[in-house]
Amino acid sequence: MNSKSRLWPMLGASLAALLGACGGAETAADIPELRSTVYGEVRGNNEAATSGIYSWKGVPFAKPPTGALRWKTPAEPASWSGTLATQKFGNACLQNGRIYGPGANNTYDATIAATLNTPVGSEDCLTLNIWRPATSTATANLPVIVFVYGGSNISGYTADPVYDGAALAKAANAVVVTTNYRVGVLGFLNLPQLKTGANTADDSGNFALLDIVQALKFVKGNIANFGGNAGNVTLMGQSAGAINTWALLTSPLANGLFHKAVPLSGGISLASNLPAGVIPTLNPASAYLAQGNALLLNLLIADGKAVDAASAQAFAATQTPAQIADYLRSRDAKTILTTVLAKGLSTSGPIPEGTVVPTDPIAAIAAGKYLKMPVLAGNTADEGKLFAPFLALLGGKPGIKISDAQRFNMMAAFNPDTATTLTSADILDASYLPVTTPVTGYNAKTALLGSLFTSPSRDNVLNTLRSQQSNVWYYQFNWAQEPAPWNEVYGAAHAFDLPFLFGNFGPSVFSNATNSSANKPGRLALSAAMMASIGAFARNGDPNNTALGTTWQPWPKKLFFDATLTQAGISTQ
């Protein structure tokens, strides 16, 4: 071989090495935040040196449900060429602003107080986020935890700092996924004119549930490339997210998409499943049909096509279903939400129509017609305290006497580590004070509210489930070590277990009101035990682990998560 023929292979090898160093052949082995999906390549965040995590945020799992796709089953996203930057959260789904919502900037900040009861977010919102430990890129088959946010099915967003999955992914040694889904009437709408008969999923009106199903399909098809085991997926939801999790546990559409369930502070009971006088967690399809019809009539009146409900009905009768559907899809979504709020049509949730959700989910579970799997449920001891404004339902005044904007700003300005002159009387209506007064006090009244709302649905679904399977666990979160006066106002309120489960204590809506330097040691110890329990359950289908210091027995036994200022206090009953 002459000198020229020997030179070409050497030059070729050098050129190949140079191109590889410039990105021509980069893979997850070279750049761990670079991963592939069936739709294209994504590049996330390498936080190995800080939080010990790799993350991907704002990953599209469906096309934007806008225009002709509004009130339709989510469609798979279009493939993309090149590498998609997935380094920040996607938009919150369009919703009317609440104290728990995204504000103007899709995160916790001062704009939340200024955007209450006004539309925030975007219809272009069907994205999810992924966190995994920054262990060797070869680590695979990690358990997967998919979290579904709460918010009464009318609000919520994955960019809420409480839902950041980094700490949980690291503590549980798992892949954590959080997913957006449509809320309010954009997520759940029962209206005959939208039903074509061509697609039973579309006709169900359960678009939010279909979004979660689509996110789970994305996980099934792609999570292996992020180190997750698609055959070991835990679906975890809180409040409305728990109701949606229970709904999917009874849905044939979710078969094979998740293998364990963690529904927290939610149920799936109709009024017909419960004793008289209590508050159900699920409304019948007829209730949502009345809501859908009322929305249509009010939009027609607002648009000047009618002057009252009778003339709106008469006008609607002159239109074909397709014309009404086109009309609704042409309306500005923010106008729709404004009408919903103004006319008191905000109630939202799974529609038990018989296809996506059984007409009676409790009856379906009792008959064994559900997705049988290990279940870990939970509640907080003082669920009713977050719903104090609804004490008016019991015939009294709302429990909290200040506006949500005032309360938000009060908490944002509160310093938990300094003395304060603030008292419960500045926040709570005087008729409920002192809070410890028997029968009429705030503690007694909020406990009564919880006993009418959360406890009956909890017992109904867990007892029904236990008749079919033994692997059902339950916890009650009792921690109430907030600095005064918030320990009285909130205590162990609805959703106050979430920061402990995610290991995130601020900044967020309630963090200044709850997290002091004094309670930090006990708070962190309790959080570590709770995250270890979720990790054990995600791995094995059993939450028992050494961090508990006790044996967690299945329902109807209960495990209590609590802590003093300085240490965790976990017990069983």
| Residue 38 burial (C-beta neighbours within 10 Å; 0-12, 13-18, 19+) | exposed
pLDDT over 90 at 514, yes or no: yes
The pLDDT confidence band at residue 17, using thresholds 50, 70 and 90, is very low
Amino acid at 3: S
Structure tokens at 287: 């209730």
Q: Determine the pLDDT at residue 25.
A: 53
- Better pLDDT: 38 or 135: 38
**Pairing label, strands 175-179, 228-238:** unpaired
Q: Report the pLDDT value the prediction gives residue 545, as an integer from 0 to 100.
A: 98
Beta-bridge partner residues of 474: 377
For residue 276, with 0-12 CB atoms within 10 Å meaning exposed, 13-18 middle and 19 or more buried, which class applies?
exposed
Q: Are 302 and 322 in contact (CB under 8 A)?
A: no
For the chain, the average pLDDT equals: 94
Q: Express each pLDDT in 321-354 by its tens digit.
A: 999 999 999 999 999 999 999 999 999 999 999 9
Residue 279 CA, chain-centre distance (Å), reads 22
Strand partners, 41: 36, 83
**Ramachandran bin of 205, using left for φ above 0, alpha for ψ from -120 to 50, beta for the remaining angles:** left
- Tokens read off for 327: 């009309």
Query: According to DSSP H, which parts of 415-519 are helical?
Result: 442-466, 486-489, 498-502, 511-514
**Which residues are 127's β-sheet partners?**
60
Evaluate whether 188 touches 205 at the Cβ level (below 8 Å).
yes
pLDDT band at 2 (very low <50, low <70, confident <90, very high): very low
Backbone dihedral region of 83: left (phi > 0), alpha (psi from -120 to 50 degrees) or beta?
beta
pLDDT at 396 over 80: yes
Compute CA distances 496 → 358, 385, 513, whole Å.
31, 10, 11
pLDDT of residue 138: 61
Average pLDDT over residues 172-196: 98
Report the half-sphere exposure of 301 (CA within 13 A, side-chain side).
15
**Percentage of the chain modeled with pLDDT above 70:** 94
Task: Give me the mean pLDDT over the 512-529 stretch.
Answer: 98
> Bridge-partner residues for 563, per DSSP?
568
Map out the domains of the chain with their CATH numbers: 40-373 (3.40.50.1820), 374-572 (3.40.50.1820)
Gap between the Cα atoms of 200 and 379, Å rounded: 34
pLDDT tens by residue, 464-478: 999 999 999 999 999
Nearest to 346 by CA among 85, 153, 108, 68: 153
Report d(CA 553, CA 67) in Å as an integer: 50
233 in Cβ contact with 259 (< 8 Å): yes
The mean per-residue pLDDT over the stretch 270-299 comes to 97
Mean per-residue pLDDT, 495-501? 98
Mean pLDDT for the stretch of residues 184-206: 97
The mean per-residue pLDDT over the stretch 175-186 comes to 98
- Whether omega for the bond prior to residue 485 falls within 30 degrees of 0, making it cis, is yes
CB atoms within 10 A of CB 549: 11
Give the pLDDT of residue 13: 36
Contact between 384 and 456 (Cβ < 8 Å): no
CA 377 to mean position of chain CA atoms: 15
* SS3 of residue 566 by DSSP: coil
Residue 16 scores a pLDDT above 60: no
- Cβ neighbourhood burial of 224 (10 Å; 0-12, 13-18, 19+): middle
135 falls in which pLDDT band (50, 70, 90)?
confident
What whole-number distance in Å separates Cα of residue 356 and Cα of residue 63? 21
Distance CA 408, CA 197 (A): 46
Q: What is the mean pLDDT of residues 256-264?
A: 98
Predicted local confidence at residue 137, as pLDDT: 63
Q: How does pLDDT run across 406-453, given as a tens digit for each residue?
A: 999 999 999 999 999 999 999 999 999 999 999 999 999 999 999 999
Query: Given this model, what pLDDT does residue 139 score?
Result: 74
Backbone angles phi, psi at 232, to 5 degrees: -140, 75
Amino acid at the residue 380: T
State which H helix or E strand residue 60 sits in.
Answer: strand 53-60
Contact, 58 vs 90, CB < 8 A?
A: yes
Give every CB contact of residue 99 below 8 A, 6+ residues apart in sequence: 112, 116, 404, 407, 408, 509
C-alpha distances out from residue 269 to 174, 458, 470, Å = 32, 9, 20
End-to-end CA distance of the chain: 84
Own/partner contacts of 413-422, CB < 8 Å, gap of 24 or more, are 413/512, 414/486, 414/512, 414/513, 415/512, 416/482, 416/483, 416/512, 416/513, 416/514, 416/515, 416/516, 416/517, 417/483, 417/516, 417/517, 417/518, 420/483, 420/484, 420/485, 422/485
Q: With cut-offs at 50, 70 and 90, classify the pLDDT of residue 30.
A: confident
**What's the rounded mean pLDDT across residues 220-237?**
98
- Number of neighbouring beta carbons within 10 Å of residue 311: 14
Q: What is the pLDDT of residues 161-170, one digit of tens each?
A: 999 999 999 9
Structure tokens at 84: 């998609």
The band of 357, judged by pLDDT with boundaries at 50, 70 and 90, is very high
Q: Which residues contact 379 (CB under 8 A, 6 or more apart)?
A: 264, 265, 454, 455, 458, 474, 475, 476, 477
Could you report the per-residue pLDDT of 537-571, keeping only the tens digit for each? Answer: 999 999 999 999 999 999 999 999 999 999 999 99
Which three-class secondary structure state does DSSP give residue 184?
Answer: helix
Q: Is the dihedral of CA 550, 551, 552, 553 positive or negative?
A: negative
In tens, the pLDDT along 90-129 reads 999 999 999 999 999 999 999 999 999 999 999 999 999 9
Query: What predicted TM-score, i.e. pTM, was given to this entire model?
Result: 0.94
Give the per-residue pLDDT at 21.
39
CA–CA separation, 112 and 125 (whole Å): 19
Could you tell me what percent of the chain has a pLDDT over 90?
94
Mean pLDDT within 280-303: 98
| Closest alpha carbon to 531 in 179, 167, 228, 262 | 167
